[in-house]
Structure 1
Amino acid sequence: MRSSPIQGVNDRQPITTLRRSALLAIALVMLSGCSFSDLKPQAEMLQPSEVNDTLANSGIKLSEAAWPTVNWWSSFKDPQLDTLINEALNNSPTLRAAAARVHQASALEAIQGAQLLPDVSAAMSVTRERFSSNGTTPAPAKGTWQNVHQGTLNVGYELDFWGKNRSSVEAAVGRRRALEVDERAASLILSSSIVQTYIGLQNVYEQIDVAQALLNQQEQIEDLTKKRFAAELGTEIDIKQSQASLPASRANIAALKESIELNQNKLASLLGKGPDRGRTITRPKLQASDTIVMPSNIPAELIGHRPDVVAQRWRVEASGHEIEVAKARFYPNVNLTAFIGLQSLAFDTFNDHSSRILGIAPAISLPIFEGGRLRGNLDAQDAAYDLAVENYNQTVVDALRDIADQLSSLRWLKERMAQQNEAVATAVAAADLVNKRYAAGLATYLQVLATQNATLAEKRQLVDLQSRAISLQANLSRALGGGYRPEMSVTAITNSTVANKS
């Protein structure tokens, strides 16, 4: 039985055609490589060795093991704070949104990864068709209506000679990893916000203590003034002056209590809960550390401990692979498609061996004239890489400044605390002396009022400095990355991104 033209194709013809296609592709590659050799990224990543290590001159003890732990807030030894942060990390809508972005990026990465695998599909069809009487269809089918039964298994595969698909996958991986680190950065921002708000809440409670102590003293002086008036040692003016200060002190305490509720509301919001959750938060019991230890080699290791820096490095990595994708578009696309199946006009002969059909179709396509679109695309990717690099460099510079700011404030805070403690002691001693003189009738109430105001101001300042000490410790932990550790060495990223400069 004589086979049809499709069935009679020489088995060596597809191989010969593929070889010819490969030779043609090599020749075309030689021509394509010269069309973009002048386009390169311009930005260079900041290296740790280029950063002047002045952070070691902060006067703070250095240690190689001084990077924050994952639960860095536990150093304040407040169980309620630990509970709040753990609750927030499990319930925050912000973190769930960040996790959703990571999930989305993972799905896009899977889509890109599918390009590396063959595309296999199956098709089955029954077509009612009238064949031409003057066409290639032989009798008895020509000029008649027939049912064409066909089933095929189809395979398509792009031969990724130039790494376009692989680079697309690597770019997707970089974007996904950047979002994963962004999720860690969001966790750090959230925990830092809770800690700072919690510190503010403790500060308000301590300010109330100062204000309440002043109010108690004012009430005692009012009682003393009345006794002095009864003993004809004072006047009604003194009584009115002593009474006038009481409403102002009570109003100040009321304002501070309002601040407590506002801070509780803010904490509840950070937890992803309603205001009622905030009302259950009791007075903080934070403890500041007596000693602060700083890592010994911050610039060299910071790029692996700050999540925002690591995320920017992954974005540089992704941009570098996008450049490779843009370069690969200048080269020929080599695709291979094939099919095998059965075709018959009659259903009863559909499964016969003679009804088999098969084919293979290697294809090469090369852009010859596209109006500069490919060069423009590569130039845009180079610019995107430059932008990613400069964003990374700025993030590193900002991170170092952030750390330096905390260290500078910590260095001078110790002296400020010493001076403020002395100022409070002096103000308290002066107030006690004036109160005794007033009780003895040797001082006026205006002198009492002046020393009270001075003592209140100095005590408030001391409370603020004590809160600032805790706040700076928390800020230093945040600035050092909050216990973040990358899952892979940043050296691997550096090696791949440097390659784009060549």
Structure 2
Amino acid sequence: MYSITRLMLAPLAAAILLAAGCVNYAGIDHQGKLLAVGDAPSDSLKDKLPPAQWPRADWWTSLGDPRLGALIEEAYASNPDLQEVAARVAKANAFLDLRDAERYPEMDASAGVTRGRLSRFEDYSGEGEKYFTARNLAVNFSYTFDLWGGQRAAWESALNSARAAEVDLQSSRLILAVNVAKAYNQLAYAWQVSELNQRDLERLSKLVELTDSRYGSGLDNLSQLKQVQSLKARSESTLIGANEDIEIARLQLSALIGKGVDRAHTLERPSTLQASVVALPAQLPAQLLGRRPDIVAARWRVEAETKNVEAVKTTFYPNINLAAAAGSHALTGDAMFAGVSKFWNVAPTVSLPIFDAGRLRSDLKAGNAELDSSIAQYNRVLNSALHEVAISVTQLRSFEQQIVVQRDACSIAQSSYDLSQSRYKAGEDTFLDALNIEQQLIQDEMRLAFLNSKHIDSSVSLMAALGGGFQAPALETAQSSAL
């Protein structure tokens, strides 16, 4: 038995000795370098906002309308884009199962009956015109020895890809929640604009009545009357457009939640939304690596391509495949399990690439190129994440300051309008003066509504830039922090 084993392994030893002079991967390596946190400093952000906790998973509750949360949950259940990402996760996990199965032996059984007629040429006796029935029963076994860890590396590559796909699903959920929140905010803003345009139309209708009366009394000319009538017509057109914006915002929101057109008509006017608390976590950007799902997914893809390169390298080494079969072949039914009908064979095979015109080296170059690409994508995502935080913070600060100033402007305009009403009632000003002052008040309130809407959008963008409540499991965090 020992001599047989030594005889079977002898080709392997010879193959290893020949490996140095055969196909090799010398001089092939990747060039990319992972960007570390220290290479993308963001200390300037700490001076702009006070420290705070990381966003919660239900960060949208801070916007102040519980119906928004219900719409986001509805979108999670019905959005087709999210369902497509979930299908990719299932596919990645299925591929992972396949790679795992390839690491184990394969065994199958076969059985069959063959009925045939022999010609003279096929009959050993030279007579022909004979019939036969052949019965066979066999068990086949095959196994590839993972001498260099290539199969395990391929499995680990698939595992990392599956993890990246699962994190992609979390990233898609975050993007969907952000888009729903912004669409809901746009719907609220559209309602405000429509309401203010309705007020402006009412103001101009009164102005037309007043000017028409003054024209009849000879106090105004026809040109002045036509001018205010034109302003009223323009306001009516603007109001129609504002109401159209409401319907479009409803349709966009219903599309995001994955429902049909009829769902848009059931969407009610949102409550008054408020921007999230403007603050930043104290440990930024170090913990951002485990809080941004797109960064975590990009890191897993780097790991996947690294393992894939390791798997490709093992194809340059000698390999051993073992195949075996056992069973029974018989021409008569009573001899099916007789000793003379039984057979077995064992076939170990050693393979070593000697000359392939550069195929294996090309595969390895392609693998390293994919690794460099995944590293570049990770660096881009990390750098973009820090810039997204910085942009959101800058916008929030700017809108916050503009809102303070615009509120003062609205307060002044409201005081001026109230004063004009008092002076009109006292007979000190005309009604026309009051209507003109009201126009400035409506314009200031329109501007304030716009700034509030943009402020809310920016706060939502900041929640997304900070990961939206996502937190990678401990293993992922440990790998990311090791960069």
The two structures have a TM-score, normalised by structure 2, of 0.88
1:270 equivalent in alignment to 2:256: yes
Paired with 1:77 and 1:311, the residues of 2 have a C-alpha distance of: 31
CA contact (8 A) 1:406 1:475 kept: yes
What is the rounded CA distance, in whole Å, between the counterparts of 2:9 and 2:62 in structure 1?
Answer: 68
Corresponding residue of 1:355: 341
In the other structure, the counterpart of 2:394 is 408
Aligned counterpart, 2:269? 283
RMSD: 3.4
- In 2, the alpha carbon distance for the partners of 1:169 and 1:414 equals 51
2:5 maps to 15
The CA deviation at 1:492 is 5.6
**Residue identity opposite 1:412 in structure 2:** S
Residue 242 of structure 1, CA deviation: 4.6
Q: Is the 8 A contact 1:58 1:411 kept in 2?
A: no
Preserved CA contact (<8 Å) 2:62 2:276: no
Once the two structures are superposed, what CA deviation does each residue of 1:178-201 show, in whole Å capped at 9, x if it has no partner? 222222222111111111011011
Match of 2:446 in 1: 460
Map Cα deviations across residues 100-134 of structure 1 (whole Å, 9 max, x no partner). 11112222222222211101011224455979999
Q: Is the counterpart of residue 114 in structure 1 residue 101 in structure 2?
A: yes
CA contact (8 A) 1:319 1:385 kept: yes
Aligned CA distance change for structure 1 residues 67 and 25 (closer, same or farther; 3 Å): farther
1:86 pairs with one of 54, 60, 73: 73
**Could you tell me the TM-score, scaled by structure 1's length?**
0.85
Which sits farther off after the overlay, 22-31 or 370-379?
Answer: 22-31
CA contact (8 A) 1:335 1:363 kept: yes
1:72 equivalent among 43, 55, 59: 59
1:234 maps to which of 212, 219, 226: 219
Task: Report what 1:7 is aligned to.
Answer: none
1:217/1:58 CA distance change after superposition, 3 Å: farther
Maintained 8 Å contact 1:58/1:407: no
Which residue in the other structure is 2:179 paired with? 193
Distance 1:458 1:449, change over 3 A: same
Q: 1:382-410: CA deviations, max 9, x gaps?
A: 11100110011001111111111000111
Out of 11, 29, 35, the residue aligned to residue 24 of structure 2 is: 35
Check whether the contact 1:233–1:441 (CA below 8 A) recurs between aligned residues: no
Contact 1:317 1:493 in 2 (8 A): no
Quickly say closer, same or farther: Cα 1:392–1:413, change in 2 above 3 A: same
Aligned residue pairs total: 480
Kindly state the Cα deviation for residue 281 of structure 1 after the two structures are TM-superposed. Answer: 0.9
Residues 23 and 130 of structure 1: CA distance in aligned 2, closer, same or farther (over 3 Å) = farther
Residue deviations 1:117-174, cap 9 Å, x none?
1010112244559799999x9x999xx9865543221110000111111111112222
The answer on 1:154 being equivalent to 2:143 is no
Residue 301 (structure 2) pairs with residue 315 (structure 1): yes
Query: Aligned to 2:324, what secondary structure does the other structure show?
Result: strand
Look up the match of 2:238.
Answer: 252
Select between 270-279 and 282-291 the one with higher mean Cα deviation: 282-291
Which residues in structure 2 correspond to 1:37-52 (within 5 Å)? 37-52=26-41
- Aligned partner of 2:284 in structure 1 is 298
Q: Distance in 2 between matches of 1:321 and 1:427?
A: 66
Give the superposition deviation at 1:14. 4.4
Give 1:248 shift: 2.6
2:298 alignment partner AA: Q
Range that drifts further, 46-55 or 312-321:
46-55
* Equivalence for 2:404: 418
One of 55, 68, 88 as aligned partner of 1:101: 88
Matching residue's letter, 1:78: D
Contact kept? 1:267, 1:278, Cα under 8 Å? yes
1:417-475 Cα offsets, whole Å, 9 max, x none, are: 11111222333444556677778586795x76764544333221111111122111111
Contact 2:161 2:301 in 1 (8 A): yes
| Structure 2 residue corresponding to 1:340, chosen from 305, 316, 326 | 326
Question: Aligned residues: percent identity?
Answer: 29
Question: Per-residue deviation at 1:84?
Answer: 1.0
